[in-house]
Chains A and B, each alone.
Chain A
């Protein structure tokens, strides 16, 4: 009996002061934005912000699965590009194509994640290299498919998810569909990671794969699933991004690093074993808040980049500091 209650009490004691610093950083940035630009506190201000942050937030939450399992997924940016370019070609301006095109894209995403996972698990290629190879391959596929220039448009139906705002609502006035997608997927990813056995097993293999294996965790299967979740989240992010901004052939460039940065801002441990979905989403919002704040400050571009880099390093340093304190 005592053995069961003791660790419980211990955990509660440790959890109480433990609010992830990313939330404070995010709050501070938002206050700064509102001070700079009071219009941000209006619904159109913060709703636009959430709408444009939604793709990265979903991507970061998916990336977190791979990071917690002890890997990296660098292929997500190229999956986004492939989704946008592929959808514009497949849909061929036909509004009725939306659903099967989206289904096809998720199937492609699942396939990419499966291959990533298989290569990492069975060919023993480190995830950094495996997904880097996948990134280069997929960028090549997207280029071959498009010939270097977009070949078609995305239909309004397809763009609904990333572009449309539900108008004339009481109190909040507008509600972007992208935000609903973020809430639904964010909750699903939270539940899967923090409320199911799969989530616990992902943590376990990231912490110590050998111990997890000895404890009966099907390491390879779990790792493959983590890669699939990441690729599927990239498909969702691609659909939102394509919806938000239309077709371009380099839409996904750089998103892989932004997703990893967002997860780390949310306190995820880069070599696995630790991370939180809500904090990764907050990390993505923080990253976007930094961009927005620097837009509002109106600094010249080079200074903006310097400030952006410094804020990033500082924010991650704060996140790491917390780990030292809690000893985890």
Chain B
């Protein structure tokens, strides 16, 4: 009996050990430093069109993929299941409309499921119609084999979340999560006194892009000698966010709020307003409702972004590849600007829906604002 118990215990330990060993590293000093540098790197490419710019030089010759049009662009999408992806997908569709050489866009929506996306990619390959495949992976590890399989048959462009292979023509993405966290936290550090109380609000644990935002932000806040009073999960729920902030306000002062995403930022601001407290230094994101609240209340605030214009870049990369023009590769790293108090007015637009992501690079496109739900 004792033996069995010991064995079970050992097996249990081994299992947890393995789990820890496999846990991805969301706190990587090298990557932190790299993204910190990228934030201040001057971009290459056309000025005022950040969706065509790139931060790291290194071009890939795509002459071997050159093809005559019209092209069938196939797009395996992780999902259109949150407002960020709704804005991004509209960007992508409107970008397609700018390219007469694209005959057809075949879009398959994986609805947030790895299994469905793997099957989707198989179906697209079996259909044999695609000139090129764009993949926005649902999760990194699960989609890697499917992308590798596709690479063997046709050119592949990956964007947003990555895959663990460099077989695609390029991987389009902005600077990244650490950069997002750093931008907000550095703004807080510059605008409050040493030892000030900072509340960190997060959506949920375990998502790579959100974990890196948090660890990036936390490092900067700690190094600046600020006091992190708490790091709470809001589940992206407005009511829960407001309740959490109200509870913290009962227990002490808050000098700054850092958030890993801005969809519930207005609810957090309202907790201060409704309780009769001055609005502290705020880090949100580029959602319209937050930008408008910020402007209306003259807040000391910043909005780091995870630009939706990368959805345009994916199409641009696909078209360039099929035309045999060189593209930045293996990674097409896009600039990741934050909206600041100086640039705020440029991005506020009351005619857009509340969760429209302002860093869409879409204002000059033909069907703006109606295609994005604006009036």
Between B81, B239, B355, the greatest number of chain A beta carbons within 10 A of the residue's beta carbon is seen for B239
Tell me, yes or no, whether A97 is within 8 Å of chain B by CB: no
Q: Which residues of A contact B247 (CB under 8 A)?
A: 292, 295-296
Q: A149-B373, A295-B247 are in contact. Are A248 and B238 (CB under 8 A)?
A: yes
User: Contacts A245-B267, A301-B233 hold; do A147 and B238 have CB atoms under 8 A apart?
Assistant: no
Q: Which residue of B lies closest to A52 (CB)?
A: B243
B343 at the binding interface (Cβ < 8 Å) = no
Selected interface stretch from A15-23, A37-45, A271-279: A37-45
CB distance from A251 to the nearest CB of B (A): 7
Are B270 and A246 closer than 8 Å at their CB atoms? yes
**Residues of the B chain whose Cβ atoms lie less than 8 Å from the Cβ of A39:** 250-251
Asked if A157 is at the interface of the complex by the 8 Å CB criterion, the answer is no
Q: Which residue of A lies closest to B273 (CB)?
A: A163
Asked if A220 is an interface residue, CB under 8 A from chain B, the answer is no
Q: Number of contact residues on B: which range applies?
A: 35 or more
Beyond A245-B241, A248-B237, A248-B263, is A150–B83 a contact (Cβ under 8 Å)?
yes
Contact A37/B80 with A150-B354, A152-B353, A246-B266 known, Cβ cut-off 8 Å: no
A153 in the interface (beta carbon within 8 A): yes
User: B residues within 8 A CB of A148?
Assistant: 80-83, 85-86
- Contact (A247, B354) CB under 8 Å given A153-B289, A301-B205: yes
Question: In whole angstroms, what is the CA distance A150 to B266 when docked?
Answer: 14
Task: Give the tally of cross-chain contacts (CB within 8 A).
Answer: 87
Of B236, B251, B356, most buried by chain A (CB within 10 Å of CB) is B251
- Contact indicator A149/B250 (Cβ below 8 Å): no
1/0 per residue, CB under 8 A from B, across A131-168: the answer is 00000000000000001111111000000000101000
Q: Given that A153-B354, A292-B247 are known contacts, is A251 also in contact with B237, CB under 8 Å in the complex? A: yes
B70 within 8 A of A: no
What is the interface of chain A, defined by CB distance below 8 A to chain B? 37, 39-40, 42, 44-45, 48, 52, 147-153, 163, 165, 241, 244-251, 291-292, 295-296, 298, 301
Q: List, sorted by A's number, 29 A–B pairs whose CB atoms are closer than 8 Å.
A: A44-B250, A48-B250, A52-B242, A148-B81, A148-B82, A148-B83, A149-B82, A149-B83, A149-B87, A149-B356, A150-B83, A150-B355, A151-B373, A153-B289, A163-B274, A165-B274, A244-B238, A245-B238, A245-B270, A246-B238, A246-B266, A247-B354, A248-B237, A248-B238, A250-B236, A251-B237, A251-B238, A295-B247, A301-B205
Pairs of residues from A and B, 8 with the lowest C-beta to C-beta distance, nearest first: A245-B238, A149-B83, A245-B239, A39-B250, A149-B86, A295-B247, A148-B86, A150-B354
